[in-house]
Structure 1
Amino acid sequence: MKKNSLLIFIILSFISCGEKTISDKSFEIEKPNLMYGGMVVSANPFQIEGENGKRYIRRKGGVGGINLANPEINKLYGADMSVTDSTKAILLIDFPLKKQIGYEIQNDNGFNRKDLVLELSKAYSEIYVEKDEYGICCDDLSDLELKMIMVYEVNGEIYLEPKVESKK
């Protein structure tokens, strides 16, 4: 019995130490604090690459962003370009949520475009599983495209604000 209890304790400890979901690690954040309390460090467009090696332009107009449901990393223009050298950042998500949330992300090498597309794709996939909790009613995940990420520095912390739009 003692061995079974110890085994159950170890298994439960291991499970509870697993990776947290977005809802576990996110927090609500006010955008005006960022806009008026920080400095814009950079604006980074996220676009797909056309067959000619240049940025893809849609026939209907506008530059094609990277789809968050099915990101084609091999077509991401400038995938290895650095967005920030900071090893920690707070990633903000607001569209199409009814509130803005943020959560801390880490990468020992800083963040390039590929890293952030994969992080956002994972985050949005988790959010859409619980879309009622986030107040999402109309847009499908497959309609969302990442167009740009704004980088802010506020009190020494890096905030990454993606500009996500529906391609509808």
Structure 2
Amino acid sequence: MSRAANAAGITDTLGTKIQTINYQLKASGEDTATFEDGLMPWISLDHPEKQIDSLIGANEVVLPYKKVTLIIDYPLTRQAVLEISSQTENFTRKDLILAISKKYHEIYEEETKTTQAKVVPPDQRNGLINRNETDGKYGICCHDLTDLDLGSVEVYKGINDKIYLILEVES
């Protein structure tokens, strides 16, 4: 499954789309048979640091901004709008995925702390092994963080030159 924030209809209010940042990895091992062009079109949101060595254009500056607003709506039932800042004056592809991953980890941790409906452990799930919906701050449904990969980031420039990021998340 794939979903970007446009499914929620919010991109109409974000301003003008100015670019798309794609994430691709050099395929290796058994993945080379699946991806004929040798490129996997996503990177793990759970542990991207394990794949950075295979990330195409890892050190390329993709955002010439110090601060951007990240909109995360998948697999959340209540979206998160969070700012991320670069340690420099811009974000490389590597910097960006690491910052996004960190925010996803924070969201999942906060959900665990604020939910009454505890997550059923994977080894205790029946039928489809999807994560049960929880009722915490974000209402995470259907996917553990280990299920999620980032395919691309759409970049929008809004009022007062504010920069918004919309994620294309694969599961």
Superposition TM-score, scaled by structure 2 size: 0.68
Aligned Cα root-mean-square deviation (Å): 2.5
- 2:139 pairs, out of 135, 139, 150, with 135
Alpha-carbon contact 1:58-1:64 (below 8 Å) kept: no
1:157 aligns with 2:162: yes
Q: Does residue 1:66 correspond to 2:55, yes or no? A: no
Structure 1 residues 61-70 or 113-122, which shifts more? 61-70
Post-superposition Cα deviations, 1:20-40, rounded to whole Å, max 9, x if no partner, equal: xxxxxxxxxxx6454245111
Q: Which has the larger radius of gyration?
A: 1
What's the counterpart of residue 16 of structure 2?
39
| Structure 1 counterpart SS, 2:34 | coil
CA shift digits 1:106-125 (9 cap, x unpaired): 22321111111111111111
Gap regions ≥5 residues in structure 2: 1-7, 112-133
Identity score, percent? 38
Alpha-carbon deviation of 1:160?
1.2
Look up the match of 1:100.
79
TM-score (norm 1): 0.69
Amino acid in structure 2 at the alignment position of 1:117: I
Match of 2:26 among 49, 58, 66: 49
The question of 1:86 aligning with 2:65 is answered yes
Residue 26 of structure 2: SS of its match in structure 1?
coil
Distance 1:112 1:57, change over 3 A: farther
| Residues matched between the structures, number | 133
The CA distance in 1 between the partners of 2:52 and 2:81, in whole Å, is 24
Q: Is the 8 A contact 1:95 1:165 kept in 2?
A: no
Distance 2:150 2:16 in 1: 22
SS at match of 1:122: helix
Deviates more, 1:109-118 or 1:62-71: 62-71
What SS does structure 2 have at the residue aligned with 1:78? coil
| SS of equivalent residue, structure 1 residue 86 | coil
| Consecutive unaligned residues in structure 1, runs of 5 or more | 1-30
Say which SS state the counterpart of residue 130 (structure 1) adopts. Answer: helix
Q: Distance in 1 between matches of 2:145 and 2:103?
A: 11
